[in-house]
Homo-oligomer: A and B are copies of this chain.
Amino acid sequence: MTSSHGRGPRTADVSSAVEAAAEALTALWDRTQRTPKTRVSPSQMQALAIVERHGQINLNGLAAELDAIPSSASRLCDRLQAAGLLTRAASVHNRREVMLALTRDGRALLAEVGRNRRQALALILGDMSPAGREALLTGLAEFNAAAHDATSWERRA
């Protein structure tokens, strides 16, 4: 038992555990994102994921989500389009806007990466005890909520 006389474990200990987890997760994400079939960069994968999440999104919207400027997003789309993973089409309502959509290959790629990621994660979680998984779920639920609050607080400032 740690020193939990009312205030729980030392922040430094939890902090170290989170930093170690961050390192492991980064490695896992990188690894599972690198598919041998289609070679797409992390930026390209992120862009595809954003387009999938939004369904219909224009180029400026994508740039905002990427935290990049439109010209960078445009170049990314050039390559994704050339790779056959994404399409550009003028909006019917406003011919200035370019609506982005995934191709069948784009959707398949995202699905494959997601599958790899969940599999790799399941392998790790499967090596944990039921009590460990329970603790992880409980702890992460609170952590995610707190991280979300801290982030939205920063957005306001």
- Using CB atoms and an 8 Å cutoff, list the residues of chain A in contact with chain B: 2, 4, 6-9, 11, 13-15, 17-22, 24-29, 117-118, 120-144, 146-151
Known: A125-B143, A138-B139. 8 other contacts (CB 8 A): A7-B130, A11-B125, A17-B136, A17-B140, A18-B125, A120-B150, A124-B146, A128-B146
Also in contact, A127 and B150, with CB within 8 A (given A4-B134, A29-B22): yes
State the CA gap A46–B149 with chains docked (Å). 28
Q: Work out how many copies of this chain go into the complex.
A: 2
Also in contact, A136 and B14, with CB within 8 A (given A6-B130, A128-B146): yes
State the CA gap A26–B135 with chains docked (Å). 22
